[in-house]
Structure 1
Amino acid sequence: MSQDTISVRDIARQLPGVVRRAPSIAKGLYYYSLKNDSKPLTLGTLVEHNAVKYGTRPAILADDRRISYAEFNAWANRIAHYLHAQGLKKGDSIAVLLENRPELLATVVGAAKIGVACAMLNTSQKGKVLAHSINLIEPQMIVVGEELASVFEGVRHQVTLGHPSPCLFMPDTDSLRDSGATPDGYINLAQMISGYRGNNPTVKTPPTLGDTAVYIYTSGTTGLPKAAPGSHRKFIKAYGGFGLMTLNMGPNDVLYCTLPLYHATALLVCWGSVLSGGSAIALRRRFSASAFWDDVRRYGASTFGYVGELCRYLLNQPPSPNDRHHGLTKMIGNGLRPSIWKPFKERFGIETVAELYASSEGNIGFSNFFNMENTVGFTTAPYALVKYHEGTRDPVRNAKGRMEKVKAGEPGLLLGEITAKWAFEGYTQKDATEKSILRDVFKKGDAWFNTGDVLKEIGWRHLQFVDRMGDTFRWKGENVSTTEVENIIDESGMVEEAIVYGVDIPGTNGKAGMVTLVPQQGGVDDFDVDALFRYLQDNLPPYAIPVFVRVTSAIEKTGTFKYKKADLKTAGYSVDRPGERVYAWLPRETGYTQVDEALVKRIEGGEIPF
């Protein structure tokens, strides 16, 4: 059941815990509030500090590997020296295409130490989408993991890289790492850095707090992925705000992370929190519900990073006597639905849910500092909840051209005020950045970041997430751009029209993708849905492939030639519309299955575990 209000009593109940964390909170507030962009406090200096203070303590745990802070810092230094020797300097960038393994973190820190930003490529991307993401940044070099070399080879001729020898290969097996065997056209980075020293690098123009450390990709609201620059400040804010103030991380803590490190939640929030306490991060390549608790016990994890879908998967596992046989007491992430919040905590013995709200590109974030129920927490940043047009990211303006705040408790479009302290870093594309800014909102000359999300206030400046608006939906913990998927389908040559949207499936988080399409040739009965599926697999990450396909002879439009998407969403995957066929991509199936009434009933009854 959703909690609608937070009372004085609720806050008071949490005060003893806040008092116990007082020293960590005070320290965290210092880092969270830093203003000087020229301050030489960066991701690299955080690691160097931990190498001195916690040198023998583990920094990274992965499979059977245990890497101490001293070892990790020296490893990153060798990468930094190598990149510097290749002529890379502050302001340059490299792309990183690696799965969740220690080499990714070492590469990010090594580059950061000399002021080189890492573009964190989504490992689910392939084809045109991957090529677009790389070319957005125009990196000097790219680091490609052995496990993703074939994916990169598929787009290698489509991307522009600035260095004469730009392709760096990161082996994934000991035999290949030791032998130095390397694919044609690549330089074996693991082999090359062995000849460089492990001392901290010194450069003429060292990076500072305000410099870009990483680029995080987001689907944004429309079109192909956008790249959002993330400064060292974002790591420092996570270090202070999440790691110290909210989680009170220490050297004995281990944070178990199965979230992909190309996500801001994993890279910035989880890892930033780990660094704050000299804690360890335990990595797994991909989330596994069946192996989750065994890993937690194996690594001695006290904390884990989550998205709501991950928690639902865990809760759907059969109950076990070992459900509380672990040391996990804290969790940090986003998207935990009110319907499973309390059941999850009670079943697994979780004490602290550090639910948060933030975006890669945004200037505003919320954190559940007081450990309240069913809330993204509160923020010290200036924000407003305003009236909006249903189904869009568009706010309502009154007769005077100004926006109006909603009443307390009412859902509203969340805006974050852009000020000198709360700067908006935006995207690499200036036009995309400008589209996210609203001007003259409450007075002439003011500027606000449009989050595109609807939230409501439930007391004491605490907000509760309501919905994600506009042309995106969230599925499997990922934002899916309807326009991006539509463009990919359009390029197949198989359809005349295609409209993509999200639909609800009982018992799941987010919305499943669905496309209604008109075949390019032939009728509804002749459409080759298997060929469409093969094409989508080649050009989209799995989470973006539509779960449902509706094939029709025409898509209804309004008098102004706008598609009636609301009617399509209402119809969902029902099969009661004459002359149409509906298909579903069922779990563990390798293609689409035609939907009939019996299958609709099974889906509606929660019998199929999407």
Structure 2
Amino acid sequence: MCCHVCKVPAPWGTGTGSVCSAPSPTGPCNLPGARPGSMARSGQPPGAGPGSMARSGQPPGAGPGSMARSGQPPGTRPGSAALVNASSRCQAGLEKLFKISLRQVFQCAPPPLRAPPRQLQCCGNRKFFLADGTQPCCFTSLKLRAPSGWRCSPAPWTQGSPSPAQSRSRALRWPCWAWGCCGSLASLDLYEAVEPLLPTLQELGIVVWVLGPGPCPPGVTSLQELMEEASDEPVPSDLSTPKDMMDTCLYIFTSGTTGLPKAARISHLKCIMCLGFYRLVGASSKDVIYVALPLYHMSGSLLGIVGCIGIGATCVLKRKFSASQFWGDCQHYGVTVFQYIGELCRYLVNQPKGEGQREHGLRLAVGSGLRPDVWREFLRRFGNVRIVETYGMTEGNVTFFNYTSTLGAVGRGSFLYRLFCPFELVRYDLLQGAPVRDAAGWCQRVGPGETGLLIAPVTPQNPFLGYAGGRELSEHKLLRGVFAEGDAYFNTGDLMAQDAAGFVYFRDRTGDTYRWKGENVATTEVAEALAALDSLQEVNVYGVAVPGYEGRAGMAAIVLRPGCELDGAQLYSHVVEFLPPYARPRFLRVQDHLEMTQTFKQHKVRLASEGCDPTRLPDPLYLLDDASEAYVPLTPRLWEGVVSGAVRI
């Protein structure tokens, strides 16, 4: 059976929730069983509810969570969610739309592509292409949030988004220069970040496309107009089929050690495997999945959006996560699955208790980075929700799934699991920043319960594709000669421990662990201990350099719960009870809120660089004082005593 709109065969049959997103001059797709929330290219589908969207304008009956294709529709609240429904059956329709559009765009490219390429091999329908089958050409993008121009796509332009730590213009300039981009794609509302660089981009022969309603500013091309003119005919297979599934499908930018973004290579095979992500964790086409993660990262785009397409599920796409709106969204849209990162769950448990927080249909939460204390509180506050904690890296070749919902674990490394996803835990020297090697030069495996560096063998079955650019960018992530001459392992940079039952637990990032008094201190373990105190709402632990001392002293930036004051004696008693002497934070910094990255990770490097000098910091500082058995205010005079050695820490 074929869809009457896009004429794409439906090999998986027709079932409830079927939808087509291909262009339609006549209105919505009327495949049998289509349910409210389905979308067509133009017009409003019959029976569409408050979450439905149309290509332009405000759909009839739209409620607070609705979005239109262009701009923010009247009456919507900031950060409102878009209810989108995608089916595996319509995947070909989505691909056709992307390929045709980009093919049309490519034929309009300025020098160095002075003429339409004889062949255009599309790698993943997103940023990177091979012109004439040989010359690699890449597109970059400027997308720091979910695009307003796409209804249910995995935001093809967002994958090239630069590191949020860089300014927009600098981040755009860097990939254009470093990787020879020939095109830049941006939404209309972010064009102001591109405009200052427009002369430079044109000088480099980089064409700028804007996604959004016209008219476009001078010097740029409207991608939307080209899409309107694109043919609906299927793309020939020789232009749309990769020659090798391990070829690069797209690049996702991650932060490098220098702070500049690195483009991690993602293969066609890895993208296809993401189609089955939600099926692996127990979701189905009947589920409504809530995604509020940035679409320029793998979790939000490939796992979130592509994963929804893979099982034909409904996706609620939130422009920006709001803890206060979350449970209302769940009730309004009938959310059954929530894709999280740990910080989002912490935001939820820190919200004041209110009505309706247990009156929801949420049955499954899947994600990564959930601390055990937040895990417990989440279940206690919000009911019996199955939590599937996972572990993985954008460029990595090892993953874990905690199918059994064992508290605190990221997965289980059983014998069978190691057969298709091998890994090792080796001893790591934090002071040297390298694995410990024996007299023969080989790395040493840790025993059950010991913390070690997670590494994974690089083999044809478990490859590491590396990064775009120089070989040295990829080489620094590899360990060679680990257990035998000539072997190679991917270095995750994460410290893990595996218990006697095989469960694997995340301990810390190597860069987040510091050394004090000859001991290694894991920031996550200290943060978990402090967070158990009721008066503390948020905790960020890091190490700071103190004049006259080797290593780094522990410091915690904390946020107090509303209505609470810092009780130095109570906090002192708490850390003495739950932490060994070397792990107790010597300094406290009280803040109104903790700054986060765009991916909801805590800033540590900047806080560590600011140190603990009260004459340079505006926030209240406290010092652990064993004599008075309390945390006492750190005054400039007291700090002088610390620096001179008169006050020992």
TM-score w.r.t. length of structure 1: 0.66
Q: CA deviation at 1:246?
A: 1.8
Q: CA deviation at 1:348?
A: 1.3
User: Do the aligned residues in 2 keep the contact of 1:120 with 1:214 (CA within 8 Å)?
Assistant: no
Q: Could you list the per-position Cα deviations for residues 155-195 of structure 1 after superposition, in whole angstroms to 9, with x for gaps in the alignment? A: 4455589766x211122xxxxx2xx2222222222232112
Q: For residues 445 and 148 of structure 1, do their structure 2 counterparts lie closer, same or farther at Cα, with a shift above 3 Å needed?
A: same
Q: Could you list the per-position Cα deviations for residues 380-432 of structure 1 after superposition, in whole angstroms to 9, with x for gaps in the alignment? A: 31110000112564101110000000111100000001111111112113211
Q: Find out whether 1:448 has 2:489 as its counterpart.
A: yes
Which of 376, 392, 400 is 1:366 aligned to?
400
Q: Could you list the per-position Cα deviations for residues 444-492 of structure 1 after superposition, in whole angstroms to 9, with x for gaps in the alignment? A: 121100111100002443210000013799xxxxxxxxxxxxxxxxxxx
SS in structure 2 of the partner of residue 454 of structure 1: strand
Q: Find out whether 1:245 has 2:286 as its counterpart.
A: no
Q: Could you list the per-position Cα deviations for residues 349-381 of structure 1 after superposition, in whole angstroms to 9, with x for gaps in the alignment? A: 243212111111111111112222211113531
**2:639 matched residue in structure 1:** none
User: Do the aligned residues in 2 keep the contact of 1:93 with 1:119 (CA within 8 Å)?
Assistant: no
**2:77 matched residue in structure 1:** none
Alpha-carbon distance between aligned partners in 1 of 2:525 and 2:390, rounded to the nearest angstrom: 25
Bigger radius of gyration = 2
Alpha-carbon distance between aligned partners in 1 of 2:382 and 2:395, rounded to the nearest angstrom: 33
Q: For residues 297 and 540 of structure 1, do their structure 2 counterparts lie closer, same or farther at Cα, with a shift above 3 Å needed?
A: closer
Q: Find out whether 1:314 has 2:348 as its counterpart.
A: yes
User: Do the aligned residues in 1 keep the contact of 2:622 with 2:633 (CA within 8 Å)?
Assistant: no
Q: CA deviation at 1:256?
A: 0.7
The letter of the residue matching 2:278 is: G
**1:526 matched residue in structure 2:** none
User: Do the aligned residues in 1 keep the contact of 2:161 with 2:296 (CA within 8 Å)?
Assistant: yes
Q: Find out whether 1:302 has 2:348 as its counterpart.
A: no
Q: For residues 597 and 386 of structure 1, do their structure 2 counterparts lie closer, same or farther at Cα, with a shift above 3 Å needed?
A: closer
Q: CA deviation at 1:237?
A: 2.5
SS in structure 2 of the partner of residue 84 of structure 1: helix
Alpha-carbon distance between aligned partners in 2 of 1:220 and 1:341, rounded to the nearest angstrom: 30
- Structure scoring higher RCO (CA < 8 A, sep ≥ 6) equals 1
Which of 426, 436, 441 is 1:396 aligned to?
436
Alpha-carbon distance between aligned partners in 2 of 1:168 and 1:51, rounded to the nearest angstrom: 38
Q: Where does 1:88-127 land on structure 2 (aligned, <5 Å)?
A: 89-90=121-122, 91=130, 92-98=137-143, 99-101=145-147, 103=149, 119-122=160-163, 125-126=166-167, 127=169
**1:15 matched residue in structure 2:** none
Q: Find out whether 1:438 has 2:438 as its counterpart.
A: no
Alpha-carbon distance between aligned partners in 2 of 1:295 and 1:343, rounded to the nearest angstrom: 21
Q: Find out whether 1:422 has 2:458 as its counterpart.
A: no
Alpha-carbon distance between aligned partners in 1 of 2:84 and 2:472, rounded to the nearest angstrom: 43
Q: For residues 47 and 302 of structure 1, do their structure 2 counterparts lie closer, same or farther at Cα, with a shift above 3 Å needed?
A: farther
Q: CA deviation at 1:121?
A: 3.8
**1:82 matched residue in structure 2:** 101
Q: CA deviation at 1:540?
A: 11
SS in structure 2 of the partner of residue 204 of structure 1: helix
Q: For residues 134 and 359 of structure 1, do their structure 2 counterparts lie closer, same or farther at Cα, with a shift above 3 Å needed?
A: farther
**2:503 matched residue in structure 1:** 462
Q: For residues 162 and 468 of structure 1, do their structure 2 counterparts lie closer, same or farther at Cα, with a shift above 3 Å needed?
A: same
The letter of the residue matching 1:246 is: V
Give the superposed CA RMSD.
Answer: 4.0
User: Do the aligned residues in 2 keep the contact of 1:274 with 1:280 (CA within 8 Å)?
Assistant: yes
Q: For residues 276 and 250 of structure 1, do their structure 2 counterparts lie closer, same or farther at Cα, with a shift above 3 Å needed?
A: same
Q: Which runs of 5+ in 1 are unaligned?
A: 1-45, 112-116, 172-176, 474-500, 519-536, 552-571, 584-592, 605-610
Q: CA deviation at 1:434?
A: 0.8
**1:523 matched residue in structure 2:** none
**Structure 1 stretch displaced more, 155-164 or 229-238:** 155-164
**2:423 matched residue in structure 1:** 383
User: Do the aligned residues in 1 keep the contact of 2:86 with 2:313 (CA within 8 Å)?
Assistant: no
Higher helix share: 1
SS in structure 1 of the partner of residue 319 of structure 2: coil
Q: Could you list the per-position Cα deviations for residues 205-263 of structure 1 after superposition, in whole angstroms to 9, with x for gaps in the alignment? A: 433332322211222444422110111222333333x321222x222211111110111
Work out the percentage of aligned pairs sharing the same amino acid: 28
**Structure 1 stretch displaced more, 101-110 or 352-361:** 101-110
Alpha-carbon distance between aligned partners in 2 of 1:108 and 1:79, rounded to the nearest angstrom: 11
Q: CA deviation at 1:286?
A: 1.2
Alpha-carbon distance between aligned partners in 1 of 2:291 and 2:297, rounded to the nearest angstrom: 11
Alpha-carbon distance between aligned partners in 2 of 1:451 and 1:263, rounded to the nearest angstrom: 17
Alignment size in residue pairs? 464
The letter of the residue matching 1:219 is: S
Q: For residues 406 and 250 of structure 1, do their structure 2 counterparts lie closer, same or farther at Cα, with a shift above 3 Å needed?
A: same
User: Do the aligned residues in 1 keep the contact of 2:159 with 2:296 (CA within 8 Å)?
Assistant: no
SS in structure 2 of the partner of residue 294 of structure 1: helix
Q: CA deviation at 1:550?
A: 6.7
SS in structure 2 of the partner of residue 140 of structure 1: strand
Alpha-carbon distance between aligned partners in 2 of 1:158 and 1:110, rounded to the nearest angstrom: 24
The letter of the residue matching 1:418 is: V
TM-score w.r.t. length of structure 2: 0.63
Q: Where does 1:117-156 land on structure 2 (aligned, <5 Å)?
A: 119-122=160-163, 125-126=166-167, 127-156=169-198
Alpha-carbon distance between aligned partners in 1 of 2:275 and 2:482, rounded to the nearest angstrom: 32
The letter of the residue matching 2:440 is: K
